[in-house]
């Protein structure tokens, strides 16, 4: 029997709405562990290509073994996620943009939940004024 997953709150400086998104293929993702492995791999690739290699190492890479899937109770976040899904579908289906490139489009799209800033900017702000590479 699998032990229950205990959710931990992130420190306040990390428990911030960012909405940084990745889009990836879902074919072949049959289990939760495959989903987590493939998601982290894709996150690493997108973040590194977007200039956030050290951000990936600082925030995601070192915590990768402690992933928990959970429900989000904030309806504004759910609404923003739905907006991102619509935008991703438009890029993927109508415009024929590959998932990898769609990730960059989404992260440069202003979102109302984060005061019409771009997810890429909010992710950058987690690290202060210094440039991430």
**Domain span including residue 83:** 72-127
> Is residue 52 located within the same domain as residue 98?
no
> Is residue 100 located within the same domain as residue 78?
yes
Q: What was the pLDDT predicted at 85?
A: 94
* pTM to 2 decimal places: 0.76
Mean pLDDT of 15-27: 85
**Per the domain annotation, does 15 fall within a domain?**
no
> Is residue 114 located within the same domain as residue 77?
yes
Q: Is the pLDDT of residue 15 over 70?
A: no
Name the band, by pLDDT with cuts 50, 70 and 90, for residue 111. Answer: very high
Q: What was the pLDDT predicted at 6?
A: 42
> Is residue 60 located within the same domain as residue 36?
yes
Q: Which residue has the tokens 């309806």?
A: 75
What is the H or E stretch that residue 80 is in? helix 75-89
Q: What was the pLDDT predicted at 105?
A: 97
Contacts 24+ apart (CB under 8 A), 35-43: 36/64, 36/67, 40/64, 40/67
**Per the domain annotation, does 107 fall within a domain?**
yes
Q: What was the pLDDT predicted at 118?
A: 95
Of 70, 86, 105, the domain-final residue: 70
**Per the domain annotation, does 53 fall within a domain?**
yes
**Per the domain annotation, does 82 fall within a domain?**
yes
Reported as a single tens digit per residue, the pLDDT across 47-101 is: 999 998 887 877 776 666 666 666 667 788 888 989 999 999 999 999 999 999 9
**Per the domain annotation, does 18 fall within a domain?**
no
Q: Domain total for the chain?
A: 2
Instruction: For residues 30 and 93, give the distance between their C-alpha atoms in angstroms, rounded to a whole number.
Output: 23
Minimum mean pLDDT among 16-25, 38-47, 56-65, 111-120: which range? 56-65
> Is residue 109 located within the same domain as residue 122?
yes
> Is residue 90 located within the same domain as residue 115?
yes
More confident residue, 13 or 36: 36
């Amino acid at each position: 029997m699998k032990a229950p997953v205990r959710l931990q709150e992130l420190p306040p400086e990390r428990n911030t709405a960012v909405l940084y998104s990745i889009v990836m293929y879902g074919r072949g993702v049959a289990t939760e562990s495959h989903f987590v492995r493939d998601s982290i791999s894709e996150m690493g690739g997108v973040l590194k290509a977007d200039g956030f290699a050290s951000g990936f190492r600082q925030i995601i890479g070192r915590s990768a073994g402690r992933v928990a899937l959970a429900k989000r109770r904030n309806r504004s976040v759910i609404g923003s996620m739905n907006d991102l899904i619509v935008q991703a579908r438009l890029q993927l289906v109508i415009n024929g943009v590959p998932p990898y490139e769609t990730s960059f489009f989404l992260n440069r799209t202003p979102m109302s939940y984060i005061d019409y800033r771009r997810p890429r900017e909010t992710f950058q702000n987690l690290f202060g004024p210094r440039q991430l590479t």
